[in-house]
Structure 1
């Protein structure tokens, strides 16, 4: 049996993002293979969905380690994908550095999803090699500005497909609109959360090349929240060092791999120094504060303009917003899910 579609997952949220597409591929009888990178909780999350996959490569925090690991992953993926039974008709990924190189080298048409225009290193390594680029409208606008300001050309902007939403709409719909993987109504019980108190979720800064050397604001936020609000606090660290720091606080929950989308569904406030969980919460209508320490991404500006998120790194402003808005559900804005667009482009590349 031949493979129609190759999907490469390199970050934890990718399994949520591609889940709806995978369901559609299954419904239409298209054969697919999934490869993954060993990174944070990605493999555990794939197992929650029950998909078969093969893992290659892992993350590194050093520049030399990133280069070596990526080069090795390209070699491993090339050997795996070039097998006759695995050679796909089209390859799809979101911010995978390796898939574009392998698909280009093996002459496989590729579809690439991008929602971080500031990840310059990754974008330089991938965008010149891909066939189709899909972006949220907020990213497309910023990518155009970036190319002009740096006098570089990643991609012909006339060929960039955009959608009026964010990738996190697909993440949320993977659970809220799925009979196969519905929201877990037992999540609060499993975490031993006091349902008489509001729930505040916190997420630390990305451990990525585009966000290094920034101080962690979360410990100060935790201390102030305990002082000013009676609430449950659930903190998601990215590193073992962060986990050790957060775990020293009494009465907060520092989970390992859990169903974070289900937790956000029942949460009353989201405060994050990252991106994906902030945007997932905002899409759900949860009051959301982004304390992302770098230049705000186009997708975050887009949601801020929609009134579903605010951005500040000022501790006083964060706390004032939390106190005022905790438990006040935001209006859920109608945003486009990119799944159908991805599926249409897959069909086009396959000549269907």
Structure 2
């Protein structure tokens, strides 16, 4: 049996092909976060909720500790051959303690806290070629792929079909632009959100309709004044339909880049290797200068590039799981 742990919404897309391939022997757990239950339901596989997400440091420590305890009780008597996760803090610690081999996927070299807690405990690390994790190579086998993890997200969603219902949030008479503010992560805080100012400047130049995905109640209050804030929906389907994406985060930017929707990143920290990779491939533009961003949007809005032909890591994960099963 294989144990797969999902700790964030994009992980459902990322692992859905793996879970469906090994459907009869996959034991899937997830933590409560955002609308993760809705996305799991979309792909139609069974998964057990264990624990929940927290945004503050004390809550993270307490919830993670409790989750380790609950997961240990849950899986200790299962006949597990291998455990698989992407940036889950709890799975490697539980698997290591129970002597279960771990395949771990990492694409964020700046998530130092998570990486220090997990990577030294895993057996195989799978990462995008652009992610710099050289300092961890002595802990485990490292396998690289020529792409970004979001290729798997997009391919999984395209395989089951895009959600036509997202079109109700679009304005056919205007340019539709998706907005994603800065993460609430431990490695990205205290930075000014420049997206509202970008919206103000774009409204002076283009006839735009904005669809925003705030990350907190506080952000939601701000963005409801300047954009449509939809109910939980499939962002990949929306990115496919929209004309542009502006984001201060990571996953949605990279999904837009893979889909070929023009995208600007105004991520306030040092860029990840996977973002630099997309910039080199002409799939992502980066700037934190409002004037530069507005100018780029004016020049590129609606100019779609088509689906990127990057490597999907799904086949590597499948093969490595097989090595432990037989």
Distance 1:56 1:257 in 2: 21
Q: CA RMSD in A?
A: 1.4
Distance 1:268 1:298 in 2: 25
Q: Which moved more, 1:42-51 or 1:165-174?
A: 42-51
1:172 aligns with 2:154: yes
Distance 1:184 1:98 in 2: 32
TM-superposed deviation, 1:158? 7.5
1:183 aligns with 2:165: no
Aligned residues: 326
Pairing 1:8-157 to 2, within 5 Å after superposition: 8-26=5-23, 30-82=24-76, 84=77, 86-139=78-131, 142-144=132-134, 147=135, 154-156=136-138
Deviations 1:14-63 (A, max 9, x none): 0011111122223xxx4111111111222222122232211122222222
Q: Please give the TM-score of this superposition, normalised by the length of structure 2.
A: 0.96
Distance 1:158 1:51 in 2: 31
Q: Which one of 210, 219, 227 corresponds to residue 242 of structure 1?
A: 219
TM-superposed deviation, 1:331? 5.2
Distance 1:315 1:47 in 2: 39
Distance 1:286 1:207 in 2: 25
Deviations 1:223-244 (A, max 9, x none): 2222221122110011111011
1:196 aligns with 2:188: no
Pairing 1:304-323 to 2, within 5 Å after superposition: 304-323=279-298
Which residue of the partner structure matches residue 151 of structure 1? none
- Counterpart secondary structure, 1:121: helix
Deviations 1:299-320 (A, max 9, x none): 0000100011011111111111
CA contact (8 A) 1:40 1:238 kept: no
TM-superposed deviation, 1:157? 7.3
Gaps of 5+ in 2: none
Distance 1:127 1:236 in 2: 31
CA contact (8 A) 2:181 2:247 kept: yes
Distance 1:307 1:238 in 2: 28
TM-superposed deviation, 1:91? 0.6
Which residue of the partner structure matches residue 230 of structure 1? 207
CA contact (8 A) 1:308 1:331 kept: no
Deviations 1:279-305 (A, max 9, x none): 000001111101000000000000100
Distance 1:277 1:58 in 2: 22
Gaps of 5+ in 1: 148-153
Distance 2:216 2:274 in 1: 25
Q: Please give the TM-score of this superposition, normalised by the length of structure 1.
A: 0.89
Distance 2:117 2:267 in 1: 24
Give 4+ residue runs of structure 1 displaced > 4 Å after superposition. none
1:159 aligns with 2:134: no
